[in-house]
Structure 1
């Protein structure tokens, strides 16, 4: 299934495994890459030295291209970019729009830059700055998310930019891949679906909570860090929503202390990162601290298995996933389903021809 995305990054299939903190480590990323997808290593929860080690570990497990995801607003983003360049990583993805300068530095080194966006204007901005592609996440996606559904946001972005667009938010099978291609995307990105594989290091008890969830058990809350955050509804999330400001501040300080010990960050650095996330948003000081140490709440569940003390970021698709295939089995199944769907529609060749035209810049725009 060749598209503009597969040609751009050199993978076999137009599927991306997203960079999920504490989840997208070397084992999952290399398994996704070996399956023919683009595996993306999550670096925000790693020190710079650990990031370098993780990149080398992925490379020891696969010869396929892979990427690294990082926060553009992190104080050490420049150091992480240097690791990506030094280690010859194929793709740099960003959870927030990177600066024009970071994009230029990466592109000058031959790295493919794919920022994640949640609005058409953000896609237009990073494309104008030189991004090679954009990953657009609709409101169905897990973690920090927006309010616009993928089916509305995706065509907006496809019509607005002339770079490949990767669709995220609500994808888990081959039918979704075909739908994304029909909208004009060059591929799909999935987080929750790859989290729920046998190659994921998430504890089995946590995976069981995801598999037991219905679509109604996935909620959006601001209680964690003041920003819309899609996750599984649990007793712990309910308690966060009931906690007053004083309780939230105590909890934020406790988790911040844990993150500082684990990461080696200074208090000044943590506050600075929290302030970066606060920029342009109405957050209290307890929320600033929570924004800086939300990784600890995720770690409690995703690493320690403490669903009673942590949060489980999740896309709505958790409610329709009921198995734990390997990455190889998952990717093969998605491609097989997609090809079967295209055959049933009698549209396999027209779709591929359309993507060849789009890659050449011959995009047809609707009248406005």
Structure 2
């Protein structure tokens, strides 16, 4: 059977690397693409010139397809459009917690005309339907088990609903780090997987070693969901910072807390990931991080997960029902 994710994106393996702000840059992205998956540049709120430079650097490091994320929000997507028009990457990774259909109708045809495929990351069923109507080639469906910004529905509940509602290929994301979680995604009807946390311990990712060791050392119930005041909560390793944010939201009105938290994620990600401040910085991870036990190369991470997925699916053939 033809895998539509591989066919649409022109990749060798149905694996997408999640767009992680300030983290998934050219070293990681090119390694994922060179290993047969789809690397995604998490440029987020990076300035225009820096974004263009990062895209051009990725092109130097890989001849394989890769994606650039575009945040689909008024006041932000305009710069992304300028960057995409100037650089014409193979794939656009359109990202939004609540998808604006009008923005999609405006920009998707422009990007298609420039020769780019379009992925939409959806955390809600309605967003996946909107994405298909706007012409997206593929939809990544992320459940709340994932790291970074999260919504309120689990991967297990969300993925089969989207599979039943759309005709474009569906990729599952949120809590996928090994063969068992990957096999579950395919069993739910997904045709590919997206992983973020699993790649945070990749040898090629140049973040502070203290951040990688914090991920490896983490156990069950090691994450916290914070920053609900901004209606864009995110999941991170629980630490002093997450406790402070929870206290802030418990002692202030929503609007006041939102104002104090503005821009907090960008600042604290750099502290956690690059300065190695694992107590006062943010290390955004999914709930299944306790399954990650060691650092590996990107190539090995992908190979192990896919081989284990095949093993798990094969073992299910002998299950008696």
SS class of match (2:221) = helix
Is it true that 1:325 corresponds to 2:296 in the alignment?
Answer: yes
Q: Which residue of 1 aligns with 2:227?
A: 222
| Structure 1 residues not aligned, in runs of 5+ | 249-281, 348-368
Q: Which residue of 1 aligns with 2:15?
A: 15
Match of 2:123 among 118, 121, 134: 118
Please tell me whether the aligned partners of residues 33 and 66 of structure 1 are also in contact (alpha carbons under 8 angstroms).
Answer: yes
Give the count of matched residue pairs: 313
Displacement, 1:84? Answer: 2.1
**Structure 1 residues 164-210: Cα deviation after superposition (integer angstroms, max 9, x where no partner):** 11100111123333322222211000111111211112210011111
SS class of match (1:231) = strand
Please tell me whether the aligned partners of residues 16 and 190 of structure 1 are also in contact (alpha carbons under 8 angstroms).
Answer: yes
Distance 1:244 1:186, change over 3 A: closer
Displacement, 1:317? Answer: 1.4
Larger CA Rg, structure 1 vs 2: 1
Please tell me whether the aligned partners of residues 19 and 40 of structure 1 are also in contact (alpha carbons under 8 angstroms).
Answer: yes
| Structure 2 residues not aligned, in runs of 5+ | none
Once residues 316 and 72 of structure 1 are traced to their aligned partners in structure 2, the CA distance between those partners, rounded to angstroms, is 26
Displacement, 1:29? Answer: 0.4
Q: Which residue of 2 aligns with 1:298?
A: 269
1:1-368 residue pairs with structure 2 within 5 A?
3-73=3-73, 75-96=75-96, 97=99, 99=103, 100-222=105-227, 225=230, 227-243=232-248, 283-288=254-259, 290-346=261-317
Please tell me whether the aligned partners of residues 223 and 241 of structure 1 are also in contact (alpha carbons under 8 angstroms).
Answer: no
Once residues 4 and 75 of structure 1 are traced to their aligned partners in structure 2, the CA distance between those partners, rounded to angstroms, is 33
Greater RCO, 1 or 2 (C-alpha within 8 Å, sep 6+): 1
Please tell me whether the aligned partners of residues 108 and 118 of structure 2 are also in contact (alpha carbons under 8 angstroms).
Answer: yes
Of stretches 20-29 and 313-322 in structure 1, the one that deviates more from structure 2 is 313-322
Displacement, 1:30? Answer: 0.5
SS class of match (2:8) = helix
Displacement, 1:90? Answer: 1.2
Once residues 158 and 216 of structure 1 are traced to their aligned partners in structure 2, the CA distance between those partners, rounded to angstroms, is 29
Displacement, 1:216? Answer: 0.8
Segments of 4+ moved more than 4 angstroms: 223-226
Please tell me whether the aligned partners of residues 177 and 288 of structure 2 are also in contact (alpha carbons under 8 angstroms).
Answer: yes
Once residues 285 and 224 of structure 1 are traced to their aligned partners in structure 2, the CA distance between those partners, rounded to angstroms, is 9
Displacement, 1:289? Answer: 5.6
